[in-house]
Structure 1
Amino acid sequence: MTDSFTIRSIEAFCYRYPLATPVVTSFGKMLNRPAVFVRAVDEDGVEGWGEAWSNFPAPGSEHRARLINEVLAPGLVGRKFDGPGRAFGALTGGTEVLALQCGEPGPFAQAISGIDLALWDLFARRRNLPLWRLLGGQSRKIKVYASGINPGGAAQTAEVALKRGHRALKLKVGFGAETDLANLVALRAIIGTGMLATDANQGWSVAQALEMLPRLAAFDLRWLEEPIRADRPREEWRRLRMAAKMPIAAGENISSVEGFKEVLAEDVLGVVQPDIAKWGGLSACAGVARDVLKSGKTFCPHYLGGGIGLLASAHLLASVGGDGWLEVDINDNPLRDLFCGPVADVTDGTVSLGEEPGLGFAPDLASIARHRSL
């Protein structure tokens, strides 16, 4: 089978899973878990699956699905490409003015990312190679950490994570010093000397972050994620880096090659976290991930969504290697658990990918038909 392929169809499917317990961040709550899954099919009948980031705002998932089905897919169907990167370039370049005109570069980038992931899965299946190996990986085994640990019931959630095989945790902070520190005391006791990280979700001002940093130093944190807004001047980030006793992490809200080049060229971030479903797909983020390692920093793919994007993120981490962890949300979400393949099987803090072509997994959408919203 040749490397070039002609796209026969691209379709997005939108789902929502209602939550009994909301997922909480410092900037808001998720009352349900959305997912936008993308299926690409070529003229030989080979399928590929991807996922577009769609967590916020609440109506965003249906919007992104419609962008894919009504705006982006018609521009690709019937066209021949010699690789996913070519299609990514055509979509990105062909919609830049439209995204600028409507003020929506983010949703367009996320929709394009979902298509890109589907085309990489398709491309790897055509090559009869697992995606992680197609992208240059040498080992199928990766480390993972449990994320999404809310301020309420943090200790109980952490205990559940350990029972599921996790050996590394990330706590959401930014809910007041008393709550944050009490949760950190509890989690450090639970995890022992294991990996513990925190995520402020852009929740602090520089002054608040500087006030918290000495208090966080006692917990031997692997990193502090997004302590301030992602768009704050680099000088503010440098001030935090100088005061921090732990590495600073960010990257999920960087949305350009130039943006990543900037943070890789400076000694501010110790952990860099692109989100392949939010910007860049694999076509852009595979190169970013390799550049992260070349810069001497730790690559940890950011992810908080359904299972297909999580599985693709696992393949990326396995492909580039390094000593980073894959983010695995611990909160209730069948749209994740039913569609992440081997990532659902955490053993002693690790997961092992398979040798099947592509992502090695084809979703059974009938199993979640009751949750479909578009």
Structure 2
Amino acid sequence: MASVGSVTLARIEAAVYRVPADPPVRTAFGTMHDRPAVIVRVEDGAGNHGWGEVFCNWPPPGAEHRARLVAEVLAPLVQGRSFDHPAEVGAWLEQRTRVLVLQCDEPGPFAQAIAGIDGAVWDMAARKAGLPLAVALGGRVAPVPAYASGINPDRPERMAAAKRAEGYGGFKLKIGFGRDRDLANLAAMRAELGADARLMADANQAWTLDEAARIAPDLAPFGLFWLEEPVMADTSLVDWQALASVAPMPLAAGENMRSRAEFAAAIASGAFGVVQPDAIKWGGVTGCAEVGRTVVAAGLNYCPHFLSGGIGLMASAHILAAVGGPGMLEVDANENPLRTLLARPFPVLADGRFVLTDAPGIGVEPDLVGLERSRHSL
């Protein structure tokens, strides 16, 4: 891993942005009527800065809560402190806030807020060292394969065709809306895309174990590259293994795992062909890079989960480039101005791959002027 040196946190700020979702983004568990983003900016005493992002898709009012966790709880703890390495910041915050997590019973929001700070610190450290984040993480800058995700269940073949025209080679459909509708949508997608396109399906935890065991074999004709979260994320690994034994395609999960131990057990179980940590939901850059390397070393597919704004997307792309392996970058197919406004210049898609540059850090800056009308007060 390249040397990025010590970091001092002189200032930490958080901001919330929202834009309408048109059309709304539908999943088996609910519908997003707007697209929120929580971004974190850190700065050291010399004026070096970095950007991070905090998961806030659900629940709908959760963005402001997470931003205030950053600004009012975490920032006062860490501002003015120095660390020998950016990877130390998240671990220190986890330890210092353990009692608060237990007292408030909010492991998720705290993990997400810490992940946003971790990402911003890594971006700052890489910029200060003059290195792209992928290089700071010990990898190299290389184009990363990308797939179009979040395709809604209403005439999904139209969205798939549009994304194929943009250059995407992989496509993930939202399922879990009833067996007949799911099968019809997958048939329409495969007919539109042809036999060679990578097609994935995400059930968003829609089924019981018995339902998933019955439905998974029915999906075999569509040649799915993976089936994502067919059951609840906290289903026992024994039950995941049982499902994997009857599923004709690899199973994917990870966006709702929340510790190194949980990921290690999942990787060792053999139940998953694809592991998908989300760098703004747990672990930040530090944790997800560690998990990604373990996934690749185990011969599995590391595909970072991501369905939010542009800052986290760029961090995910750099982690994937650093980790390597056959994984693909998840890119939301739905319109979201926050994706591009938070990441200027937005990367070019060429031959189905996002092209990363040699610019330091995550290589982008948010367009704060363009975002101003979408900013919400905390």
CA distance in 1, matches of 2:308, 2:164: 21
Question: Which residue, out of 288, 311, 316, partners 2:314?
Answer: 311
Q: CA deviation at 1:147?
A: 0.2
Deviating more after overlay: 210-219 vs 325-334: 210-219
Residue 188 of structure 2: aligned partner: 186
CA distance in 2, matches of 1:282, 1:212: 35
Which of 212, 223, 226 is equivalent to 1:223? 226
- Once the two structures are superposed, residues 5-27 of structure 1 have per-residue CA deviations (whole angstroms, 9 ceiling, x without a partner) of 32110001101111231100000
Residue of structure 1 equivalent to 2:62: 60
Match of 2:91 in 1: 89
Instruction: Measure how far apart 1:290 and its partner are.
Output: 0.2
Alignment of 1:151-190 (within 5 A): 151-190=153-192
Task: Name which of 18, 21, 38 aligns with 1:19.
Answer: 21
Cα 1:322–1:2 shift into 2, 3 Å: closer
Q: Which amino acid aligns with 2:222?
A: F
After TM superposition, the structure 1 stretch with the greater mean CA deviation from structure 2, 220-229 or 175-184, is: 175-184
Q: Deviations over 1:56-91 (max 9, x none)?
A: 001100000000000000111111112211111111
Report the CA distance between 1:339 and its aligned residue.
2.5
CA distance in 2, matches of 1:208, 1:2: 49
Which secondary structure does the structure 1 equivalent of 2:60 belong to?
coil
Is 1:240 aligned with 2:247?
no
Rounded to whole Å, the distance in 1 between the matches of 2:136 and 2:222 is 39
- The letter for the 1-side match of 2:262 is G
Change (3 A) 1:48 1:288: same
1:218 & 1:5 partners in 2: Cα distance?
52
Residue pairs, 1:257-296, within 5 angstroms? 257-296=260-299
Q: Is the 8 A contact 2:344 2:366 kept in 1?
A: no
Pick from 280, 296, 301: which aligns with 1:298? 301
* Greater than 3 Å deviation, 4+ residue runs: 340-344
Aligned counterpart, 2:351: 348
- Inter-partner Cα distance in structure 1 for 2:234 and 2:182: 24
- Quick one: which amino acid aligns to residue 260 of structure 1? F
1:87 and 1:344 map into 2 onto residues whose CA distance is: 29
In the alignment, the residues of structure 1 paired with residue 347 and residue 228 of structure 2 have an alpha-carbon distance, to the nearest angstrom, of 24
**Partner residue of 1:143?**
145
Paired AA for residue 83 in structure 1: H
2:355 maps to a residue whose letter is: S
Q: For residue 129 of structure 2, what is the aligned residue in structure 1?
A: 127
Q: Partners in 2 of 1:309 and 1:138 — Cα distance?
A: 19
Counting aligned pairs with the same residue, the percent is 51
Q: CA deviation at 1:248?
A: 0.3
| C-alpha distance after superposition, 1:213-232 (max 9, x if no partner) | 12100011100000000111
Does residue 325 (structure 1) correspond to residue 328 (structure 2)? The answer is yes
Q: Is the 8 A contact 1:314 1:343 kept in 2?
A: no
* Runs of at least 5 residues in structure 2 that lack an aligned partner in the other structure: none
Task: Kindly state the Cα deviation for residue 343 of structure 1 after the two structures are TM-superposed.
Answer: 5.6
Give the AA of the match of 2:178: G
Deviations 1:95-127 (A, max 9, x none): 011011001010000000000000000000111
Q: Does the Cα contact within 8 Å between 1:167 and 1:191 map onto a contact in 2? A: no
Count of paired positions:
374
> What pairs with 1:24-63 in structure 2 (closer than 5 Å)?
24-63=26-65
Contact 1:342 1:354 in 2 (8 A): no
Q: SS in structure 2 opposite 1:166?
A: coil
Judge conservation of contact 1:264–1:295 (CA < 8 Å) in 2.
yes
Following superposition, the deviation at residue 190 of structure 1 comes to: 2.1
Shift of 1:182: 1.1
Q: Whole-Å Cα distance in 2 between the matches of residues 4 and 258 of structure 1?
A: 27
Q: What is the identity, as a one-letter code, of the residue corresponding to 2:190?
A: R
**Contact 2:141/2:358 (8 A) holds in 1:** no
Q: 1:139 to 1:359 in 2, by over 3 A?
A: closer
Deviation, 1:342, is 6.2
Q: CA deviation at 1:355?
A: 0.3
Give the structure 1 partner of residue 201 of structure 2.
198
CA distance in 1, matches of 2:223, 2:229: 17
1:74 aligns with 2:85: no
User: Separation in 2 of the partners of 1:85 and 1:160?
Assistant: 40
Asked whether the 8 Å contact 1:129–1:355 carries over to 2, the reply is: yes
Contact 1:3 1:126 in 2 (8 A): no
TM-score, structure 1 normalization = 0.98
- SS at 1:269 equivalent: coil
Cα deviation, residue 337, structure 1: 2.1
Q: TM-score, normalised by structure 2?
A: 0.97
2:255 to 252, 267, 270: 252
Which deviations, in whole Å up to 9, do the C-alpha atoms of 1:300-328 show, x marking residues without a partner?
00001011000100000000110010000
Q: Which deviates more, 80-89 or 42-51?
A: 80-89
Distance across 1 between alignment mates of 2:77 and 2:187:
53
Q: In the TM superposition, what is the alpha-carbon distance from 1:138 to its structure 2 partner?
A: 3.0
CA contact (8 A) 2:16 2:37 kept: yes
Structure 1, unaligned stretches of length 5 or more?
Answer: none
Match of 1:10 in 2: 12
Instruction: Give the RMSD, CA atoms, in angstroms.
Output: 1.3
